[in-house]
Structure 1
Amino acid sequence: MSICFSSRVFNLHSAKNQSFVTRFSSQFINQIHVSSIPYALPSSSLNLSELLKHSRQKKLNPITASTTPSVETLSQSSFRNKKPKDINVLVVGSTGYIGKFVVKELVDRGFNVIGVAREKSGIRGQNSKEETLNQLKGANVCFSDVTNLDALDKSLRNLKVPIDVVVSCLASRTGGVKDSWKIDYEATKNSLVAGKNNGASHFVLLSAICVQKPLLEFQRAKLKFEAELMTEAEEDNGFTYSIVRPTAFFKSLGGQVELVRDGKPYVMFGDGKLCACKPISEPDLASFIADCVLSEDKINQVLPIGGPGTALTPLEQGEILFRLLGKEPKFLKVPIGIMDFAIGVLDFLVKIFPSMEDAAEYGKIGRYYAAESMLVLDAETGEYSAEQTPSYGKDTLEEFFERVLREGMAGQELGEQTIF
């Protein structure tokens, strides 16, 4: 059963980083935060073993979607000729960290927004329906299950209005193996199929820049869906997509601000120059995603995007923080070999205890973000390029650090993305 509510008058017209932060004591790694893991297999009826088998196939199965009679006669590109108030935008992952900003941005721009949410949403399902309605104020809220294609499709049909655009902000909360395929591939694909079944002719996907160098399971899941999304557009001339690959989010770089303010050293791997990123604020990213709904220059494009200014290494991020605090820089440099040792131990233990598969994957995620830049990877040189990474928006990391120093990290919690 699907239930649809609205925090305003229901106004649908008939015509939805990455990055890594570490906290250490003097002897042990206490926490590793993984964000945006940012972050799904041929059919929801397949079991996991079949899904993983499909994930390794070189040939990608095309996505098929039937069209309901009520929307069959609509011109698939007609929504771009409408005013925002007449365009129905479905946002999946609407209660997620980025999804909330995207819903707000789309509402502010005057679109008719339908946010899909679980009946118990938020971190560990802590939010009630009432809290979700308040959180997505200005949008119409449809309570359904994106991991169940039949349920999602029925929910959208029950709206009895066509969907013009789907914006997916779905992402695995943990980056674990099963969760990655369930959300980053399967649930995202369900959103595409159900959206097309109900008239959608454009799909905006929030992906991640780190998929350029896929060493992790969630990256493989995202890439598989990206490839099938492109295939769908090739086979259906009336269907388009925009794939957004952002760099690190501000919140994923803020985990040490309060610690440093309290006198702790700033922790970094190696010399602090192993990686770099052009972090982007959540409102700026939401604005870019909203641009993709109507901007014709973003149709059928893979769009890497970073924030304004130059790329910053962990060393430079720490220096900014100490400067804002007026303190002498104090860094704790941790050999990257510690991560390699931990991963080796976990990989060995998985052979004995298969249930530790996710723990081993988390270690690899931490290692990845400790050493890989969140920038465009130059295909010719094999090097990360700050110059080739587009900049967007106006919010800077320094401004974010200033705000956290004043107000704390309230509202920036990583929740289930705290994995160690």
Structure 2
Amino acid sequence: MKDGAQHKRILVAGASGTIGHAVCEALLADGHEVIGQVRYHAPLPTGFSAVFTIGLNDPDELATQMKCVQPDVVISCIASRSGSPKDAEAVDFRANLNLLKAAEGVGANHFILLSAICVQKPRLAFQHAKIAFERALKASEIDHTIVRPTAFFKSLSGQVERVAKGGKFFLFGDGELTRCKPISDRDLATFIVDCVTDPERRNAVLPIGGPGPAMSLREQGELLFEVAGKQPRFHSISPRLFTGIAKVLSLGAPFSGWFAEKAEYARIAHYYATESMLVLDAETGEYSAEKTPEFGEDTLRDHYREMLKAAR
């Protein structure tokens, strides 16, 4: 917290999630008064002034609870778990909208939204839901800050256990189709909490990545093998596989919600296999590592080292 900054009463929606938990820890360390909204009772940092489990899909009960806690600032770290159209509409848009209206009702003066950098190039249901809420937030009288992080360390950790056991690292194409500047939970939480007291981050959309350089999927794999002390072994998968699966499943979508959801999952997989998580340069239409801001100190190398240590 900057010198002379005022401690604030802050409600964190999604406090039991990975990022929400880290945000709460950072807020408490900065001396803010923190109220947590969670989906269920879960282990949380000590020091909360209040915790409530009222769902964000109940606007009346949410408004009542908001009147009880009277936050100055609301931080939303909620996100749909599956990315399916139904879940995205319910969480990424509707739940956030209910939260915003409740915040407006009690005179909160700042709403900080954890969004995603991939909304720059929307093709998926959850991206469109996030953008729809971003528009509503920008139109609100409450000051807003929209944080759009690149890839999380967690999203790049799915192959650690397999590599630790001697398996191959899966690539899409040649492994050079996409790049990102991954950021740790702790660094992202620090960035979000700094938005509370930094006036220059008000009414702004802020893309943010971790300390560079931008890394391709192949480079992530090479790093993981290096840290594991193993010779690199890769297996390539064509992203077109996901396109084919989506087309087949879409045939059943008009008749079954199950087919519709699975088709969307295949489209999500194809998107992440082919699109970089970097700032999209409006002039060139290309992803730009240079224009993607960097923040923090935690590195993917250190994260892999800790994960491999735990896997042994």
Normalised to the residue count of structure 1, the TM-score between the two structures is 0.71
- Tell me if structure 2 keeps the 8 A contact 1:115–1:136: no
Following superposition, the deviation at residue 352 of structure 1 comes to 4.2
In structure 2, the partner of 1:148 is: 58
- Tell me if structure 2 keeps the 8 A contact 1:91–1:167: yes
- State the alpha-carbon separation in 1 of the partners of residues 185 and 299 from structure 2: 11
Following superposition, the deviation at residue 340 of structure 1 comes to 1.5
In structure 2, the partner of 1:225 is: 133
Larger radius of gyration: 1
In structure 2, the partner of 1:38 is: none
- Tell me if structure 2 keeps the 8 A contact 1:169–1:205: yes
- State the alpha-carbon separation in 2 of the partners of residues 379 and 284 from structure 1: 27
- State the alpha-carbon separation in 1 of the partners of residues 202 and 257 from structure 2: 43
The 5 A counterparts of 1:10-409 are 83-84=6-7, 87-118=8-39, 121=40, 129=41, 132=42, 134-139=43-48, 140-159=50-69, 162-232=70-140, 236=141, 239-408=142-311
CA RMSD across the alignment = 1.5
- State the alpha-carbon separation in 1 of the partners of residues 311 and 44 from structure 2: 21
Following superposition, the deviation at residue 322 of structure 1 comes to 1.1
- Tell me if structure 2 keeps the 8 A contact 1:207–1:246: yes
Normalised to the residue count of structure 2, the TM-score between the two structures is 0.96
Following superposition, the deviation at residue 230 of structure 1 comes to 0.8
Contiguous gaps of at least 5 residues in structure 2 = none
- Tell me if structure 2 keeps the 8 A contact 1:268–1:331: yes
- State the alpha-carbon separation in 2 of the partners of residues 169 and 369 from structure 1: 21
Distance 1:149-1:315 versus aligned 2 partners, 3 A rule: same
- State the alpha-carbon separation in 2 of the partners of residues 156 and 382 from structure 1: 42
- Tell me if structure 1 keeps the 8 A contact 2:240–2:270: no
The answer to which structure, 1 or 2, has the higher relative contact order (CA under 8 A, 6+ apart) is 1
- State the alpha-carbon separation in 2 of the partners of residues 82 and 153 from structure 1: 28
- State the alpha-carbon separation in 2 of the partners of residues 226 and 217 from structure 1: 14
Could you tell me which amino acid in structure 2 is paired with residue 192 of structure 1? L
- Seq. identity, %: 46
- Tell me if structure 1 keeps the 8 A contact 2:5–2:197: no
Following superposition, the deviation at residue 277 of structure 1 comes to 0.5
Could you tell me which amino acid in structure 2 is paired with residue 377 of structure 1? L
- State the alpha-carbon separation in 2 of the partners of residues 392 and 249 from structure 1: 13
How many residue pairs get aligned? The number is 309
